[in-house]
Structure 1
Amino acid sequence: MALFPVTANPLDDPFYYLNNFMQVLDWLEHRYADVLSVEEHAFIRDFARLPRESRALLVRMVMRKGVHFRAGKLSYVEIGDIASAVAPLLAAGWIDETTPLHIEELFEVLLKGEILQCFGALIDQPKGKKADWLAQLSEQFPEAQRFAQWCPALHDRLFTLTIMDLCDRFRLMFFGNLYQDWSEFVLADLGIFTYEKVEFSLESRGLHSRQDVDACVFLHQCQQHFEAGEPVASIVERINGLTLGNPWLQRRRDKLLFQIGQHCERIADFAGALTIYRDCAFPGARVRLIRVLERCGDYQLALDLATLAEQSPQSASEHQHLLRVLPRLRRKLGGPALKRSAPRPMERLDLQLPRTDLALSVEGYVQAHLAEELAPVHYVENSLINSLFGLLCWPAIFAPVPGAFFHPFQRGPADLLHEDFSARRAELFDACLAELDDGRYRQTIRERFAAKWGVQSPFVFWGVLSETLLDQALDCLPAEHLKHWFNRLLLDIKANRAGMPDLIQFWPQHKTYRMIEVKGPGDRLQDNQLRWLEFCHEHQMPIAVCYVQWAEPGV
């Protein structure tokens, strides 16, 4: 089976988009043969038998927005005569020329001048807006008609795709979602994005049966209904009626329910939010449930649940939330006020700097002020530690474990933010981190930096990482500190890959460093930043918080 990209030089091949589409069909036929429906198998077989120009025209239409296309608006040099190319598609029933259109659909394919040509005598304000004309004409034309009946004077043909749902299912099975589109191929072909090549197996598929495909499409439709503003209760009822045996789909369902629960909170539908959160397994739902119970005044139930959660927090962020909410709940129930433990002392830098360039960030000012020839300062924020982790642990991150990789255009594993991400790869991560104990990590990271340059990764920031920064980091950051950081990342990737200090300063001659969190006037430390500061102090890592005031008054 061919590997992506299929077109060696896409700019030299006008049919590169057709080649890519056919490669998808080939991929699906090999990878999902047992899952494809009779209709899908038949399409793949019959599509290959069509003339190249007809196949190309169909793919062009599939990749465009909508399902209705004017013949006069279809012009492609490589396809040539549209009438000849469309004939086999009409015969196959994949395109229809007789589909009735409601007037709303008609307005989408007509220009303003054409609307006036067809309906000018009925429009009160010829210089008005299309939306106003539509509102006026909708009452007069409630029935759908064929394009030729609507606009007999235009002498044009209208083609309607009848297989868009089928093509969306293909896209779903290939990408594992419906938010990625066919442009991914073009980006890969043109070298804009390069993806890691992962060995695929049947076990790594996200969809294992026809029922899984149908359930995934159903969840996507529920998402669309929710985003369109349909009543939440009926959507939740339909989602809860779905029986799933696929863990990947179960998480998708839980994520959608969590999003609906958050929406209920925003509109103060606390009863709806409580109902959703009580049965939702998505990470964060328990914290939201406690919060909603508190907002409803049910302090005892909220305290009971928070106390139970404290015994086994789902994540570091949940634990931090519980540390704030438990004293508050106990206080509201008449308990004694608990004295908070004093924060650990930390190095503090107070700077008063002249602000001469409004376009320069406060971090940029501090970087320029502190940097010395023998003590360079880099603005890295979350990029450096994540990148070093991503390079060292590359084999574990891109391991072809079940449910991680579905197609060749993934920036990282699909289960990256799942609670069991590191547990499912424990031996692989242990092997990678073991290199920190014997010193091999320096050579491994340098070699991987060169070999994987530009390949998409959920951890490596290629735009920030340079050979100079990499060399200074590997010379100045102790392996012990790297191991502490990397293990912390693995505990809770979603929460811990952000919040790291803004700047890092190296003293290469002494092989030492200092991290610096920068706060401008009126800015304060966020929760994830506080967690990182506390962690660094716990492990005796050099870190400081720099508070900046502008020298000019009133600025």
Structure 2
Amino acid sequence: MPAALPPELYYLSNFRTALVWVAGRYADLLTAEEQTFIAAFQQLPWQSQALLVRMIMRRGSHFRLSKLDYPEIGDCLVAAQPALELGWLSADALLATPEIADLLRKDELLAHLPLANKRVAQKKAGLVEQLLTQDLPPQSFARWCPALDDRLLSLLVGELCDRLRLMFFGNLAQDWSEFVLADLGIFRYEAVDISPQSRGFQSRQDVDDYLYVRGLRVRFEEGDAVETIVPALLAFSSSNPYLCSRQSRLLFQIAQHEEKRGELESALTLYQRSTHGQARWRQIRVLESLNRYTEAYEQASSFSQQPGSDEERQRLERALTRLGRKLGRPVPKQPKVTSESRLELALAVPERGGVEIAVRNHLHSDDAPVHYLENTLLCSLFGLLCWEAIFAPLPGAFFHPFHTGPVDLYSPEFYPRRHLLFEQCLARLEQPDYPQRMLQRYREKNGIQSPFIVWALLDEALLQMALHCIPAQHLRACFSRMLQDLKANRAGMPDLIQFYPQQQRYRMIEVKGPGDRLQDNQKRWLAFAAQHGIAVDVCYVSWLAP
């Protein structure tokens, strides 16, 4: 086996790297079967390794030999022999009717399978329906199509490799193509010093538990009856916070499904068992729908003592007002509504682009440029200033070298775990050289994947303009608010920003077209901006008659 592989075998090189990573970090968790696979794979001829990886990276487990055409490998049947001998591939796997139909073209279905009605004009789906009605037994590819000059190779180690992929990535949402994108330079990732404690799974039970919860999710998404899924999900328990968060998210999604189909008692039970950030106020909504107003009021009063986010606070205030009026209870004092600074424009309907582009073009000038950036500018500035806090190598934050951001980014523990690190980052805004330091960070990290920075929209000139015009106290206030609830507060920011470099000031502009109105998260940002002296105009647009 060559120590180094030619460039066209990048996928094999990457797979080898993953196996070494898993073997080194999870040696104590691997089953005997997994250990045997890793050791035996390394002893295969490189052509056999390459063919296996090609098949592992493709969808499905059955492959016609005629479709396995890889010039760098050569004769794929020869390359397959060692894996066939090991039982990792099969040449005579039994195929059910849907499987053989998926492998054949329409003309091949007509030529090789027992169809009573072989109308050429009929679509392939109709032909498959004919086959399904015959209740044919599973057969090998050769038995299904004895006259077809082709062979079949079936991958038998797909599930095993999925488990290895799970241990490497910490999830099954990512696949081996992540390696390809990184290798080709399409994606670049921050180099995080990942500690042994940062692996996604601390025990074999964690691996099995992930697969168990994922299996329940797949069953739910495929339409299995909720009644067959929920008891198992409620009975699940784990000491791994990552797995508990996955359980909680699935409980919330099933609760939403139950609420939509009118199964309110079931939905209420599931919301009560979920720790999802929206589960508490949704409990109130379901209790109201059940006409259990007193219980809803008491629950909302309890939750409002310590709301989990600005969104929850806003929703609880509204619920208490509604319920208080129905029950004759005290109605909470309504917070003072922030009077918005209005800007009204009558514009010609643009030939292209939306209302935001029309307003941008109307207000833009060389001395006061306007940019359509929505949430991306402040988020990008936050990502630059707080880079090392975001990518801090804390236990459980990064499982592998291909993370865009930490695994716990949107968990309630994200900020508390890094509180001191973020305070150090924000304190830099008190130093006069913070613009230069952020500009240097931009140059060092440009293009590296980040959960906050949109590199395509942030060039150096825009960055310099923003740092010149936006005061440090405004940046600190905005970033502190974002950290209170990253998932919710990174959205809802005004559409446009206009810079006045000569006066070293700026304003933000929320654009509303005809019939549009402010959303709740936008109202929360407007109230925050008013509190901190950030200039924001709400621009209401009407269209001129043609």
CA deviations 1:357-390 (Å, max 9, x no partner) are 3322211121122222222212121111111111
TM superposition score normalised by structure 2: 0.96
Task: Please give the secondary structure, in 2, of the residue aligned with 1:122.
Answer: coil
CA deviations 1:48-86 (Å, max 9, x no partner) are 000111111111111111101111221111111122111
1:317 equivalent in structure 2: 311
2:226 equivalent in structure 1: 232
2:358 equivalent in structure 1: 365
Distance 1:440 1:499 in 2: 30
CA deviations 1:298-343 (Å, max 9, x no partner) are 1111111110000000111111111211111112224476774442
- Say whether 1:456 aligns with 2:471: no
The residue identity in structure 2 corresponding to 1:376 is P
Q: Choose which of 265, 269, 273 in structure 1 pairs with 2:263.
A: 269
1:173 is displaced (CA, Å) by 1.1
1:3 equivalent in structure 2: none
Distance 1:155 1:373 in 2: 69
C-alpha contact 1:120 1:126 (8 A) present in aligned 2? no
Distance 2:122 2:461 in 1: 61
The residue identity in structure 2 corresponding to 1:390 is G
CA deviations 1:283-303 (Å, max 9, x no partner) are 211111111111111111111
1:242 is displaced (CA, Å) by 2.1
Q: Which runs of 5+ in 1 are unaligned?
A: 1-5
1:106 equivalent in structure 2: 100
1:290 equivalent in structure 2: 284
The residue identity in structure 2 corresponding to 1:370 is L
C-alpha contact 2:115 2:130 (8 A) present in aligned 1? no
Distance 1:365 1:264 in 2: 42
1:132 is displaced (CA, Å) by 2.1
- Say whether 1:132 aligns with 2:106: no
1:468 equivalent in structure 2: 461
1:435 equivalent in structure 2: 428
Distance 1:301 1:142 in 2: 57
Task: Please give the secondary structure, in 2, of the residue aligned with 1:545.
Answer: strand
- Say whether 1:195 aligns with 2:189: yes
Q: Choose which of 438, 457, 463 in structure 2 pairs with 1:445.
A: 438
The residue identity in structure 1 corresponding to 2:221 is E
Distance 1:510 1:301 in 2: 55
The residue identity in structure 2 corresponding to 1:273 is A
- Say whether 1:383 aligns with 2:414: no
1:504 equivalent in structure 2: 497
Identify the range of structure 1 (246-255 vs 180-189) with the bigger mean alpha-carbon deviation: 180-189
CA deviations 1:520-542 (Å, max 9, x no partner) are 11110011110000001011111
Distance 1:79 1:136 in 2: 39
The residue identity in structure 2 corresponding to 1:508 is P
Distance 1:198 1:366 in 2: 42
CA deviations 1:377-418 (Å, max 9, x no partner) are 121211111111110100000001112111111111111111
TM superposition score normalised by structure 1: 0.95
The change in CA–CA distance for 1:341 and 1:425 in structure 2 (over 3 A counts) is closer
Task: Please give the secondary structure, in 2, of the residue aligned with 1:100.
Answer: coil
- Say whether 1:43 aligns with 2:37: yes
The residue identity in structure 2 corresponding to 1:492 is D
Q: Choose which of 74, 77, 88 in structure 2 pairs with 1:80.
A: 74
Q: Which runs of 5+ in 2 are unaligned?
A: none
C-alpha contact 2:320 2:331 (8 A) present in aligned 1? no
1:395 equivalent in structure 2: 388
The residue identity in structure 1 corresponding to 2:397 is A
Task: Please give the secondary structure, in 2, of the residue aligned with 1:408.
Answer: coil
1:121 is displaced (CA, Å) by 5.6
1:118 is displaced (CA, Å) by 1.9
Distance 2:333 2:391 in 1: 46
The residue identity in structure 1 corresponding to 2:427 is A
1:120 is displaced (CA, Å) by 5.2
- Say whether 1:326 aligns with 2:323: no
Identify the range of structure 1 (363-372 vs 380-389) with the bigger mean alpha-carbon deviation: 363-372
C-alpha contact 1:96 1:162 (8 A) present in aligned 2? yes
Give the fraction of aligned pairs with identical amino acids, expressed as a percent: 51
The residue identity in structure 2 corresponding to 1:407 is H
- Say whether 1:517 aligns with 2:510: yes
- Say whether 1:301 aligns with 2:292: no
Identify the range of structure 1 (241-250 vs 37-46) with the bigger mean alpha-carbon deviation: 241-250
Task: Please give the secondary structure, in 1, of the residue aligned with 2:494.
Answer: coil
Task: Please give the secondary structure, in 1, of the residue aligned with 2:313.
Answer: helix
Q: Choose which of 101, 121, 138 in structure 2 pairs with 1:144.
A: 138
RMSD, aligned CA: 1.7
C-alpha contact 2:271 2:283 (8 A) present in aligned 1? yes
2:408 equivalent in structure 1: 415
Distance 2:333 2:281 in 1: 23
The change in CA–CA distance for 1:200 and 1:339 in structure 2 (over 3 A counts) is closer
Q: Choose which of 224, 247, 254 in structure 1 pairs with 2:248.
A: 254
The residue identity in structure 2 corresponding to 1:186 is V
C-alpha contact 1:389 1:459 (8 A) present in aligned 2? yes
C-alpha contact 2:382 2:479 (8 A) present in aligned 1? yes
Identify the range of structure 1 (26-35 vs 110-119) with the bigger mean alpha-carbon deviation: 110-119
Distance 1:483 1:170 in 2: 43
1:280 equivalent in structure 2: 274
Query: How many residue pairs get matched?
Result: 544
Distance 1:152 1:366 in 2: 67
Distance 2:418 2:40 in 1: 42
The residue identity in structure 2 corresponding to 1:516 is I
Task: Please give the secondary structure, in 2, of the residue aligned with 1:328.
Answer: helix
Distance 1:18 1:65 in 2: 17
